Amino acid sequence: MLAGSGYRGHSYGQQRMTILDRVGVYLSRRAILRDLPRRCDLVALDLGCGYQAKHLTKTLYPYLIEGVGVDLKVRDDLKQVPRLSFVESAIDEALPQFPAERFDVVLMISVLEHLWDPESVLKQCGRVLKGEGTLLINVPTWRGKRFLEYSAFRLGTSPAEEMDDHKMYYDKRDLWPLLVTAGFKPSQIRMRYHKLGLNLFTVVQKSPAELLEGGKGRDDHHP
């Protein structure tokens, strides 16, 4: 269960992962690496890291001096991995505990769609990001909704409890204004569809002056 979730009582991956789940994790990993800052001294926060914490332990680990994962439950053996720590909590309860400008990178991979109050969580992400830090977001699209629900409710090839916990789906026109309202500048928001248009991947570069003063970004940043 993530922040404000009404159905799930466990972390993603705590129960059996289907082949579609594994493919999705792999494709998200490729998307993350495409936009991850190419440094080996990153301090990263993975919100909704999952029971297996695969993006911290596999995708990000070579680039980290410190990684923090947040989810309701994480495998006990992962808590012994050097340079990693975990907060077993709902996201909206964990985020206020972190000091401002703590992280170089914040991940929200297949998380935002589970939240009742995504705007407040995005504002907290901006608060904990360092100046010029990077926020990486992956969400399912409205096109993806049809595929995911058919896979979960008809075929049984995706976990039904995950789909029942979704509060929202996002296209560019849905996510872009939410990010701007949360305080990110339009010129620092880059969005692209991937996974055959079933998902939307967004890269947000925080400005040192994090509150929006107005104005429009480049056309390719608009929905």
Q: What is the pLDDT of residues 56-76, one digit of tens each?
A: 999 999 999 999 999 999 999
Q: Per-residue confidence at 157, pLDDT binned at 50, 70, 90?
A: confident
Q: What is the pLDDT of residues 109-120, one digit of tens each?
A: 999 999 999 999
- Residue 133: which of 94, 180, 182, 188 has the closest Cα? 188
**How much of the chain, in percent, has pLDDT values that exceed 70?**
84
Question: SS3 for 24-45, per residue?
Answer: HHHHHHHHHHHHCCCCCCEEEE
pLDDT score of 209: 63
Return phi, psi of residue 2, to 5°. -100, -170
Q: Per-residue confidence at 16, pLDDT binned at 50, 70, 90?
A: low
Full set of structural domains in the chain with CATH: 19-202 (3.40.50.150)
